[in-house]
Amino acid sequence: MKLISKSIILCAGLLSFSVTSCKKDLLKYNVNPNGSNPGTINPNLVLSTVLTQAGIEIVTLGYQDMAGVMQHTQKDGWTTAHNEYDWNGSNSWTNYYDILRNNQLVYDRAVSLNNELQQGVSLVIKSMMFGLITDLWGDAPYTQALKGQLGGAETTPVYDPQQVIYNGILADLEKANTLLSKSKSEYINPIDAVDVYYKGDPTKWRKMANSLALRYYMRLSEKLPEVARAGIEKIVADPAKFPIIADAADDATMEFPGNSNADSWPANAIYDSDSSNYRRLKMCNTLVTYLQSLKDPRLGVWANKVQCFIVVDNNLPTGTGNVYKPVDTVVNGENRKVRYVSPDVLASKGLTVNDINQNVDYVGLPPAIPGPAVYNLSPDAAQASRNPHVSWLNDIYKQAKGPLLRARLISAAEVHFILAEASGIKGWAAGDAETHYNAAIKASFTTWGLAGSYNAYISQAAVKYNHTQRQIIEQKWAASWTAAAEAWADYKRTGYPQLKAGPYAKGPVVPVRLYYMLDERNLNKTNLGEALKRLEVTTYSSYGANTAQNSPWSKPWVIQGTGKPW
């Protein structure tokens, strides 16, 4: 026992000496040799991740659940979040702030290296991502965000009011416009190899910066109309100083390599063994009927025709002789199958002819209905999303990549619609409203490979410019296909399109924001509490999973007092 005790004492003494004498060496070698040092890393190595992740997050949002909110699509499996706004009382912005943290590293390193191109690009991304966050939630960490490594108060940042965030975004975009104003050859560190949007072209990034500024000025148009007017008129008045995206060739988009599910179009069928993610997404009847009413050829690019259309008729083939037999039969038509159904068959199912969509080409799912998998006499009793009587998305959306499969961040169509509204509805000096309206539609048609169909489309009486905000915003809503988050922001600001929540939705009207996430409610309770006080409780705020204050039907500052969208 004595020997053991002496050994322990001796070892303890040696350990004490070792810790004291080797402390610096231990710190020196406690570095991951395969990691990157934030203080010395080339900002381009991080910028590639920032751009690709931003593109993925934005298209996933705009093609998935926001497309459900804005009734571009509906799901017939796993429906609750997409169709019904059943968001479980918590929506996470973690991925967006992860992008912003990496983007801040790009900016800080670019400043230390005097890389103005990277500085400008990172300010554009910062503006776009913070714009997305405040559009979706309302007040959010901004001025104290991205500083958690400093410790102290920055680990529980304050929630800045929306007005502060939008003002900061617009200031950063103006700074980016200046940083990006040189010719490509003047920048010391090109970004061609990592820039998945514009291949290192500073002129196009500058156009994106000013186009985003137009977006956020219009966002403020109901609350701060004079600020919005001055900002938009300033940009439009000086195209040399403030170039914008005016042509579809300059759209801010991102292609997908398609090498794995991680870098492919979301919900593709290439890396999904049974294509279930693709199959669950169906066209929404709201968008389908709008496009059909205008004979819009984009519908055929975005959707497949029904595999089997339905005909309900009293004068259908019956049994032999005078014996009547109810009819419910599928036959091969000239190009597709046809299902003939007699009214008594419908009656036996508790249905009438008014419950059946007999369109021979395109049929959408109504929003938030019970049993969407069996809608329109679907024989899909197993609810495997194989309904032949509704329109599936076009086969291009099964693919992992393709010329039309892009993340769409901001487009010429959006810019022209903004200027059409600014000029034609608000009376601001933003150019000719009809010219911008027509240019917006032409840009969208060009984007979807339909430039040759534009003249016939625009010549229709129902499409010609009619000087109403409703027409502009409805066309903009259609053009935001796969980018529905922007359509949601317009809906909240204008009330267009006039959407109706479905019978199974969690509230009787379309919501206007996302829930603050559970982690914030637990870890940053005081600051979140102040933000909640600034939300406006509405008639509908009692709906949802949380308190009336943190409700998807409580209004953030930007739409308070506007009477919109409902």
What pLDDT sits at residue 522? Answer: 93
What pLDDT sits at residue 321? Answer: 56
Tokens of 84: 């019904």
What pLDDT sits at residue 149? Answer: 76
- The answer to the question of residue 366 being in a domain is yes
For residues 27-64, one letter each, b for 16 or more C-beta atoms within 10 angstroms of the residue's C-beta and e for the rest, the string is eeeeeeeeeeeeeeeebbebbeebbbbbbbbbbbbbbb
- The answer to the question of residue 346 being in a domain is yes
Looking at 350, 365, 398, the residue that finishes a domain is 398
**Residue 133 backbone dihedrals phi, psi, to 5 degrees:** -60, -50
Tokens of 433: 């409203």
Return the axis-axis angle of helices 285-293 and 469-479, rounded to nearest 10°: 120
Looking at 398, 417, 436, the residue that finishes a domain is 398
Each residue's pLDDT expressed in tens, for the chain with a length of 566 residues: 333 333 333 333 333 333 333 434 434 444 555 456 777 889 999 999 999 999 999 999 999 999 999 999 999 999 999 999 999 999 999 999 999 999 999 999 999 999 999 999 999 999 999 999 999 999 999 999 998 777 777 789 999 999 999 999 999 999 999 999 999 999 999 999 999 999 999 999 999 999 999 999 999 999 999 999 999 999 999 999 999 999 999 999 999 999 999 999 999 999 998 899 999 999 999 999 999 999 999 999 999 999 999 999 876 655 555 666 789 999 998 889 999 999 999 999 999 999 999 999 999 999 999 999 999 999 998 889 999 999 999 999 999 999 999 999 999 999 999 999 999 999 999 999 999 999 999 999 999 999 999 999 999 999 999 999 999 999 999 999 999 999 999 999 999 999 999 999 999 999 999 999 999 999 999 999 999 999 999 999 999 899 999 999 999 999 999 999 99
SS3 410: strand
Q: What is the C-alpha to C-alpha distance for residues 80 and 74, in angstroms, rounded to an integer?
A: 10
Tokens 């570095």, residue located? 31
Compute the C-alpha angle 470/486/62, nearest 5°.
125
Residue 305 pairs in a beta bridge with: none
Q: What is the C-alpha to C-alpha distance for residues 133 and 173, in angstroms, rounded to an integer?
A: 16
SS3 readout for 237-299:
HCCCCCCCCCCHHHCEEECCCCCCHHHCCCCCCCCCCCCHHHHHEEEEHHHHHHHHHCCCCHH
- The answer to the question of residue 383 being in a domain is yes
Cβ-based neighbours of 203, under 8 Å, separated by 6 or more: 180, 184, 243
CA 306 to chain centre: 27
Tokens 């982690």, residue located? 519
Tokens of 46: 């991080």
Count Cα neighbours of 551 within 13 Å in the Cβ-side half-sphere. 20
Number of domains in the chain: 2
Closest CA to 137 of 554, 526, 445: 554
205 contacts 198 by C-beta, under 8 angstroms: yes
**Residue 10 backbone dihedrals phi, psi, to 5 degrees:** -60, -45
Looking at 340, 369, 398, the residue that finishes a domain is 398
What pLDDT sits at residue 11? Answer: 34
- The answer to the question of residue 249 being in a domain is no
Tokens of 45: 């190595």
Q: Exposed, middle or buried, 82 (CB in 10 Å: 0-12/13-18/19+)? A: buried
374 contacts 380 by C-beta, under 8 angstroms: yes
Strand 159-160 relative to strand 281-283, pairing: unpaired
**Residue 470 backbone dihedrals phi, psi, to 5 degrees:** -55, -45
Cβ-based neighbours of 138, under 8 Å, separated by 6 or more: 162, 513, 531, 534, 535, 556, 557, 558
- The answer to the question of residue 295 being in a domain is yes
Kindly report the pTM of this predicted structure: 0.92
The secondary structure element, H or E, covering residue 28 is helix 2-29
Q: Which domain holds residue 28?
A: 1-33
What pLDDT sits at residue 38? Answer: 78
- The answer to the question of residue 524 being in a domain is no
- The answer to the question of residue 294 being in a domain is yes
430 contacts 232 by C-beta, under 8 angstroms: yes
What pLDDT sits at residue 562? Answer: 97
Cβ-based neighbours of 17, under 8 Å, separated by 6 or more: none
The secondary structure element, H or E, covering residue 440 is helix 433-447
Other residues' Cβ atoms within 10 Å of the Cβ of residue 504: 17
What pLDDT sits at residue 326? Answer: 86
SS3 readout for 287-330:
HHHHHHHCCCCHHHHHECCCCEEEEECCCCCCCCCCCCCCCEEE
- The answer to the question of residue 277 being in a domain is no
Closest CA to 494 of 426, 409, 437, 551: 426
Cβ-based neighbours of 121, under 8 Å, separated by 6 or more: 47, 106, 176, 180, 191, 195, 205
Cβ-based neighbours of 552, under 8 Å, separated by 6 or more: 85, 87, 506, 507, 511, 512, 513, 514, 515, 543, 544
CA-atom Rg of the chain in angstroms: 28
